[in-house]
């Protein structure tokens, strides 16, 4: 019994890892046209939803460490997608705001979810399956995030 637990085909984490990598790969042609990476796209989505927030709010939303996010934000600033400014209220906080170029990319990205949906929906996978899976994954994110803090 012990050996079967270590079979790759019996692991829940491997298909999730593989799907994550393959979905990111499916995004690549769309993001290449925009000149950004998938992690940069995630940052932009956070800012398109709520512009002018502090770095810590972005790290919380994306479940990233500041030391992972900071170099990416510096690159995005060099690309003129965002501006980074110290908060006047709290010198320790850095506020991230979209530039005109960063806001413009939202128009280019508008159809990406529909295009990706066309790839994910198939004869065997319906939109309702995807929505159910998304709900389960969000529950796991919550559970695993809570366990990480303890």
**Distances in Å between the alpha carbon of 47 and those of 15, 51, 124?**
30, 4, 35
**Is the whole model's pTM more than 0.75, yes or no?**
yes
Is pLDDT of 1 > 70? no
The closest alpha carbon to 36, from 92, 99, 80, belongs to 80
Q: Name the residue ranges covered by the structural domains of the chain.
A: 2-109, 111-150
pLDDT digits (tens, 9 = 90+) for 53-109: 999 999 999 999 989 999 999 999 999 999 999 988 888 889 999 999 999 999 999
- Give me the residue label for tokens 């695993």: 144
Q: What ranges in the chain are assigned the alpha helix state H? A: 2-5, 13-34, 38-49, 55-62, 66-78, 100-109, 112-120, 127-149
**Distances in Å between the alpha carbon of 96 and those of 56, 61, 67, 113?**
10, 14, 16, 24
Distance CA 102, CA 123 (A): 37
pLDDT digits (tens, 9 = 90+) for 3-43: 788 888 889 999 999 999 999 999 999 999 999 999 999 99
For the domain with range 2-109, which CATH number is right: 3.40.190.10, 3.30.460.80, 1.10.10.10, 1.25.40.10?
A: 1.10.10.10
Query: Which residues have a Cβ under 8 Å from the Cβ of 43 and sit 6 or more positions away?
Result: 58, 62, 69, 72, 73, 76, 82
6 or 129, which is more confident?
A: 129
């Amino acid at each position: 019994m012990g050996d079967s637990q270590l079979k790759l085909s019996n692991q829940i984490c491997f298909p999730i890892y593989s799907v994550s990598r393959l979905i990111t790969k499916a995004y690549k042609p769309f993001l290449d046209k925009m000149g950004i990476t998938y992690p940069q796209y995630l940052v932009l989505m956070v800012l398109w939803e709520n512009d002018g927030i502090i770095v810590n709010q972005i790290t919380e939303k994306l479940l990233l460490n500041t030391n992972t996010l900071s170099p990416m934000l510096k690159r995005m600033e060099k690309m003129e997608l965002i501006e980074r400014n110290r908060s006047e209220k709290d010198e320790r906080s850095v506020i991230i705001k979209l530039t005109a170029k960063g806001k413009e990319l939202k128009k280019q990205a508008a159809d990406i979810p529909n295009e990706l949906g066309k790839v994910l929906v198939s004869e065997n996978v319906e939109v309702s399956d995807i929505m159910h899976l998304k709900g389960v994954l969000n529950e796991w994110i919550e559970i695993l995030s809570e366990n990480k803090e303890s």
